[in-house]
Amino acid sequence: MSATDRTTPEADPAAARRRHPRLFRAITRRQQPPLRRTDITVTDEAAVKRAVKAASLGNAMEWFDFGIYAYLAVTLGHVFFPAGNDTVQLLSSFATFAVAFLVRPLGGMVFGPMGDRIGRKKVLALTMILMAVGTFAIGLIPSYASIGFWAPVLLVLFRMLQGFSTGGEYGGASTFIAEYAPDRRRGFFGSFLEFGTLAGYVGAAGLVTALTTWLGSDTMEAWGWRVPFLVAGPLGLVGLYLRMRLDETPAFQKLESEAARASEAADAVETSTKGDLAKIFRQQWPTLILCIALVGAYNITDYMLLSYMPTYLSDELGYSETHGLLILLLVMVFLMLIITQVGRLNDRFGRKPVLMAGMLGFLFLSLPAFLLIGQGGIPAITAGMLMLGLSLVCMLGTMSAALPALFPTDVRYGSLSVGYNVSTSLFGGTTPLVITALIGATGSNLMPAYYAMGAALVGVVAVACMKETAQRPLEGSPPSVETPEEAAELVMSQAPEPKF
């Protein structure tokens, strides 16, 4: 008898399933149990709005602190570095700007796993305190003319403190909002985080512009530059107050309650939230690479437009610092007006189509935009910057919902903080320095456009590789809905069809 003849029906999975249908149905239900009403989180709209407000306002204050340095880069180069070549001073200032980004991955590796272990709320309060202290301290440093070598040393030290604290900010704030928001509106609520980022930049640019106009360049260089940094202290206290009034996210509370109910679950949660970076790198490395590529493309274009552009207009094209800041200010206010609508769009049509539109916008519009900007005149510069801004807002309004959904709940804060900050360190914070160096080496004012196009090409590939996560539960978290009726509808949709 051949091997074929000896094959029994049980050896064939399909045949076995036909012979024992009840057994296989029971196995399937055990492996994939249907949702119960208690498994579904029904969000409290008032609590969601409080969480979004606190995370966004805190984020705005963080980026107000960070934006100040970018918009005062030329002045700070004169204050903290020896006189001589203006380009060398500017490069030194941008190098100090980049130093903060070098320590951001370290901050992400410390604060991220800590947020998975002790909770999102406590870590976000700590990052707020450290950023406010670092920024306030910069406003107190004596100039190079007063203390010489120690002036840039202290500047670098406090910039590193800023960068260390920021390492735990974006991953935590985006995780916080994503875990509070209902699945069908995560893009809309997540867009408020980047609304806060723009608000922080607008506040910083507006304050610097107003002070420069009022005091003049000489007075700004003498003492006026200190004012925006010293404002950070009171703002930090406001942000801390808002964050400490919040409850933990429902997803993290669910994780903690499961740990309390079963010792096996407790062991699993403990090992996954103990700062075990080796486990994150070992188990999440494909998603980390995808996250780094997405964030790299997004950050190069983001920092090029929102941080570097005023310096480009003043140093490369000869406009006054106030001129460049005012145009950028108008563009950012326009982006703030439409960013929440971008959030609604990615909830409705998906994260991937909206992100792809932003990446393709930079790929095909960067060169025409910079050619327009190079022509000079307020209409041409504004049109060029709006072309870039509309491409950027597609990313700004979508990333804060797309990135947290890449990782499971028990390692979400840690994995996102590591991936986001490694990418930001390598590509985001170095953008002004790299572009300035490229223009100096080639003599071409179009280098920012080519750099943005290269980043966008990487972004197109990354978006094509990511999964669509719109209107779906976060991995490792229960479904989240807005009303009890929606929860009941979700349970009923999983009930088996009655047989007659």
- 284-331 pLDDT tens trace: 888 999 999 999 999 999 888 877 887 788 777 777 766 777 888 888
At residue 269, the pLDDT reads 44
- CA atoms of 91 and 84, how far apart (whole Å): 12
Buried b (16+ CB within 10 A) or exposed e, 197-233: bbbbbbbbbbbbbebbeebeeeebbeebbbbbbebbe
CA distances from 87 to 83, 218, 345 (A): 11, 19, 43
List pLDDT tens digits, range 228-252: 888 877 877 877 777 777 767 776 7
pLDDT of residue 79: 82
pTM above 0.85, yes or no: no
> Per-residue pLDDT tens for 83-117?
766 667 667 777 777 777 788 888 888 888 887 77
- Quote the Cα angle for 316-319-321, to 5°: 100
Q: Are 75 and 220 in contact (CB under 8 A)?
A: yes
Q: Token match 């406003």: residue? A: 139
Instruction: Find the angle CA(176)-CA(303)-CA(192) to the nearest 5 degrees.
Output: 30
Output the pLDDT for position 148.
81
Asked if 143 and 87 count as a contact pair (C-beta separation under 8 A), the reply is no
Q: What is the mean pLDDT of each run of 10 residues along the chain (500 residues)?
A: 46 64 58 58 78 82 77 79 70 73 85 80 84 87 84 87 85 85 90 90 85 84 88 79 73 64 43 59 87 93 83 76 77 92 94 96 94 86 92 94 88 86 84 85 89 95 93 81 73 58
CB of 236 within 8 A of CB of 136?
yes
Q: Which residues pair with 480 in a beta bridge?
A: 41
Long-range pairs, 32-38, Cβ under 8 A, ≥24 = 34/491, 34/494, 34/495, 35/478, 35/479, 35/490, 35/491, 35/494, 36/491, 37/487, 37/488, 37/491
Residue 22: per-residue pLDDT: 65
User: Which residue type occupies 496?
Assistant: P
Q: Residues in the chain, how many?
A: 500
